[in-house]
Structure 1
């Protein structure tokens, strides 16, 4: 017998508005409309757990703590995020600093200063570039390149490995 216990947790991310945007983006998929229907919890605990995670997530109920410099209602595509970022000097500087301080060449991390890379990554997380998505469309290849630059940077993997 499988026992499923739902444990209430607090919203613990520093990017609350991005978390909320991600949840709204997922909730908007046709699969979840009109509602995400699951069989009884004892019959399909996985579905119920996912539904609870998606629709009763603790971050949904958080009132905005601080002013978000780049508020979003839903996650942008990476192409759109980059174009928005390029229109604002501060944002594109965050992206350029990240690429400079968390340098990647031939798929390998070539960062020179771990602290500068970590700082650049932490700042980039607040920009539209972090959390962007790539749907299947005609711009997918470019979008995937932008997504990989931010989310598959091997230097960030090294940073996170040292934190754990």
Structure 2
């Protein structure tokens, strides 16, 4: 929460903030997230405007998770731009915008967590990779393709032919 009383609803007033709050629990998506308690770096400029306070700046954090193909641990830097208007209570935005269209201030306080979350989460990869050419896992045995030789295979037999194979002892290659 940021207290904006010093602006006094005076358009043109501004102040820079450098904040380092800890990440709340569940700050991410299934495959990658900012660990709980990991610092989130906020470099912000708050500017009083006629309808409220305009917050702009950058959000930086370190996210970690696992590769979507091979499940190895990964980490990625999140660096996004933030720009949001927080409207004063009882301002003309109450009648000119929908309730969820503009963020609202609670008295003189601005709650940044929902806006930071809504800005950061879409920038995170939904299927993060340890490398762009990650071959993933073998669907037959679950081993990493990067660690398996080129001769690695799993013979799959159509279940309709399995009885014949059992009766006649396999293929010519197996004899």
TM-score (norm 1): 0.23
Greater strand fraction, Structure 1 or Structure 2: 2
Greater relative contact order structure (CA < 8 Å, 6+ sep):
1
Larger radius of gyration: 2
Q: Which is helix-richer, 1 or 2?
A: 1
